[in-house]
Each structure stands twice: as C-alpha cells, then as structure tokens.
Amino acid sequence: MNVERPSRAFSEGVRKSMQSNKSRDTKPELALRRAVHALGFRYRVARRPLPQIRRTADMVFTREKIAVFLDGCFWHGCPEHHTKAKTNAEYWAEKVRRNRERDSETDALLAKAGWIALRVWEHEDPLQAAIRVADAIRSCRSTIADQSPRADDATL
C-alpha cells in the first residue's frame, strides 16, 4: 500500500529545491575550511563534538574542544541578511525560531561539557572568520600548556 505523506508547509517546487540544498561542503564552508587550513590548522569535518547528542559541527578541533558551526543567513535568522519568506511565512518564521533555539541549546550543552562553540555566518569574510578560529585555538592551546604538569615540577 502506497501512502502519500502529507505536504509540509511548502509546494512541490520548494520541496525539490530544499532537497537539492547541500548539508555540507557548501561554498562558504569550503572557503572557511581553506582559510583555516592555510593558517596551518587541521580539523575534523562534519563531526559530532559530543557523540551522545545529535548535533554536527562543520569543523571540530578535538584536542582543543572547539566546535565551529557555519550558519546560513536564512536558516539561522541572520540579523543582517535574513529575509522573510513570501509563502508560508508563519511556517518558516517558526522553523527559523526553532533553529535559533536549537543553536543556543547546542552552545549551552557544549559549554557544559567543556567545549567552545564558535558560530560563523555564511556572509562573513572567510579569512576574518578563520582568524577568529585560530585565535580561539591558540588560546585553548596556551591554557592546555599552562595546565599540563612540567617535568621540573614533578616530585620524585
């Protein structure tokens, strides 16, 4: 028996368009990754920082416990570039509201587990965003180095 699923709040054309949207390796994401790589940093791509939570970061620095999320202006409600949908405006407004709520929850869960969540808007300059990422990594690395026991501090 073939049961047709009810339409969400959009047309068949919008459904096809949404299905063609990439979830990773978008142009802004690739530009950010190239810029971070050019600064000499290596990372994991599209990983869950906390395996028990279904949230995937675009870039993960496991040693430093930094998760980088590249947020789309439409999907995450960018204060500068978000545009209201002309069709089914209530549905899309609620969708964006829930996305923002989930982003805040993700940031809080990561912070509770000792991680840093960095959020980058898709419209940001990739090099400037990469410098923010690099600064956070360097800060974490200096903290890690300060906390590690030194050989001359060890008691025999």
pLDDT in tens, the chain (156 residues): 454 444 455 567 656 655 556 678 899 999 999 999 999 999 999 999 999 999 999 999 999 999 999 999 989 999 998 888 888 899 999 999 999 999 999 999 999 999 999 999 999 999 999 999 999 999 999 888 888 776 555 554
Q: Is the pTM of this model over 0.85?
A: no
Q: Could you give the number of structural domains in the chain?
A: 1
Q: Where in the sequence is the domain holding 129, given as residue range(s)?
A: 28-147
Residue 98 lies in a domain: yes
Phi, psi of 17 (to 5 degrees): -65, -45
Residue 152 lies in a domain: no
Residue 129 lies in a domain: yes
Residue 138 lies in a domain: yes
Distance CA 93, CA 15 (A): 17
For 1-156, where are the E strands, in sequence order?
44-47, 57-61, 66-71, 116-121
The CATH number of whichever domain residue 41 belongs to comes to 3.40.960.10
Residue 90 lies in a domain: yes
Phi, psi of 120 (to 5 degrees): -125, 130
